[in-house]
Structure 1
Amino acid sequence: MKIKMNNRKIGYTYGSVSGHYPFRKKSSIAYESLLERDFLIMLEFNDSVSEVVGQPLSLIYKNKNGKTVPYTPDFLVYFNEPNTPLMRLKRKPLLIEVKPKDKLEKNFCEYKYRFKQAIKYAQENDLIFKIYDESKIRTQYFKNIMFLKRYQRLNFDNEDIDEILSFLYVSGNNSIEYVLEYFCVTKEQKGLMLSLIYNLLYHKKILCNFNQPINMETQIWLNELNEEESL
């Protein structure tokens, strides 16, 4: 199998939305749909992800008509070295295709040839090929990210931040409601404290189960171990 290393260029795509996403303000990654953009947002929030390369390579393969054509996967995702004793093996990079579920179902007979080549290439190069549709991207995890993003740029006094972090360090897991009741008296105080909690959650100073809806019963705790996240 030949590998064509020049990447495809991002241009206007009929019926879709394209652009460039400022990934962690360190790199600009091209996307060709809102679903691809949402996937990048999900990756950006995941601390186990170290780097994302857009349209990393082109594979040359024969389609169902026997014609030689190129196929360019959407992303190549690299992971950080494991930083806990429970995760001793470094995760293999992921070669990713992002497609809406209806397109996958409608065009599977066409896509299966390119996906077969992608799987083969991944196996030969110590990668894992995965396909992501909206059911794997626009999850509760993603909904929580989009909710918490509203609070990411808010500024708070260091004294208030240290107070809540110290409290969680001593007390361990607590519900958001319990923390509000412990620190606050008035409705205004609770509103400000809640915004601070959401800000700390977004920046991973404190943690919760991001796969569950965030509400007053949500348990939060101090991020002491920089817990690894799955993808």
Structure 2
Amino acid sequence: MPVRNIPLRYSSVAGVVPSKKMKRLHEFESTLERDLIALLEFDRNVQAFEEQPVCIEFQDETGKLRSYTPDMLIHYRSDRPPGMWLKPRLIEVKYRSTLWAEWPTLRPKFRAAVRYAAMRGWEFKILTEKEIRTQYLENVRFLNRYRWVEVELGYVHRLQELLGLLPSTTPAELIQLAVRDAYKQAEYLFVLWHMVALGMVGIELTHTLTMQTPIWPLTGQVPAFTQPFRRL
């Protein structure tokens, strides 16, 4: 649980967001932290995450005792790659403008966090809107609409069968192959996005999703046009 509570103020954007992965409410102090929680909730390589995880004590340049609480601690899954190769990450979330304006004050805190993390076999990383608010986040927001819905299993099996016959395809092509009726195509497309959201279909999520986005079965070789996803 968090080492300190985040106060809710009418003048702030602090709040709480439910997490199915962690089975509880998560607190956030900014919309940037809220967006990070959405990414962690979606990322299948993330095993667990906790806000306000530790309080780090350190001495400043004058020898005075100070404390610093990072925003998030991320643990990755140990049963699948690439999570099994990743160290836990201690995270600070800041807007770039805040980093520039408050760097002299923040720098000793971050140095203390680097040492604290290294002693425990973790990593410390600063995340800004540049790393969080990407096209990947927009895709996650889109796919989350389809993630926790019930679908017809017969449609899932049909799409899986067709995907298994193709080295790569697109949503438009796959839906055309599945059925000719326009109404049924809309139903199949809904199911396809549900499958993508659950990681049942290979897809590159760092670019805008369209009906021409390449998709492929998870069995076999990954297409050469894909790019490794830059993790948080």
Q: TM-score, normalised by structure 1?
A: 0.87
Q: Which amino acid aligns with 1:38?
A: D
Is contact 1:6–1:58 with CA below 8 Å preserved after alignment? no
Specify which of 49, 52, 55 is matched with residue 52 of structure 1.
49
Is contact 2:49–2:75 with CA below 8 Å preserved after alignment? yes
Percent of counterpart pairs with the same letter?
28
Residues 1:214 and 2:201 aligned together:
no
Is contact 1:52–1:77 with CA below 8 Å preserved after alignment? yes
CA RMSD of aligned residues (A): 2.5
Is contact 1:74–1:96 with CA below 8 Å preserved after alignment? yes
Q: TM-score, normalised by structure 2?
A: 0.86
Name the CA distance, whole Å, in 1 between partners of 2:200 and 2:83. Answer: 24
Residues 1:184 and 2:169 aligned together:
no
Is contact 1:82–1:90 with CA below 8 Å preserved after alignment? no
Paired position in structure 2 for 1:17: 13
Number of aligned residue pairs: give it: 224
SS at match of 1:107: helix
Paired position in structure 2 for 1:103: 98
Paired position in structure 2 for 1:160: 155
What is the CA distance between 1:39 and its match in structure 2? Answer: 0.3
Alpha carbons of structure 1 residues 93 and 196: separation in structure 2 relative to 1, 3 Å: same
Is contact 1:64–1:110 with CA below 8 Å preserved after alignment? no
What is the CA distance between 1:170 and its match in structure 2? Answer: 2.3
Specify which of 69, 73, 95 is matched with residue 76 of structure 1.
73
Is contact 1:176–1:219 with CA below 8 Å preserved after alignment? yes
Alpha carbons of structure 1 residues 77 and 89: separation in structure 2 relative to 1, 3 Å: closer
Alpha carbons of structure 1 residues 81 and 10: separation in structure 2 relative to 1, 3 Å: same
Q: Which amino acid aligns with 1:52?
A: F
SS at match of 2:180: coil
Residues 1:116 and 2:108 aligned together:
no
Alpha carbons of structure 1 residues 89 and 157: separation in structure 2 relative to 1, 3 Å: closer
Alpha carbons of structure 1 residues 67 and 94: separation in structure 2 relative to 1, 3 Å: same
Alpha carbons of structure 1 residues 19 and 64: separation in structure 2 relative to 1, 3 Å: farther
- Structure 2 spans left out of the alignment, 5+ residues: 223-227
Name the CA distance, whole Å, in 1 between partners of 2:152 and 2:125. Answer: 43
- Structure 1 spans left out of the alignment, 5+ residues: none
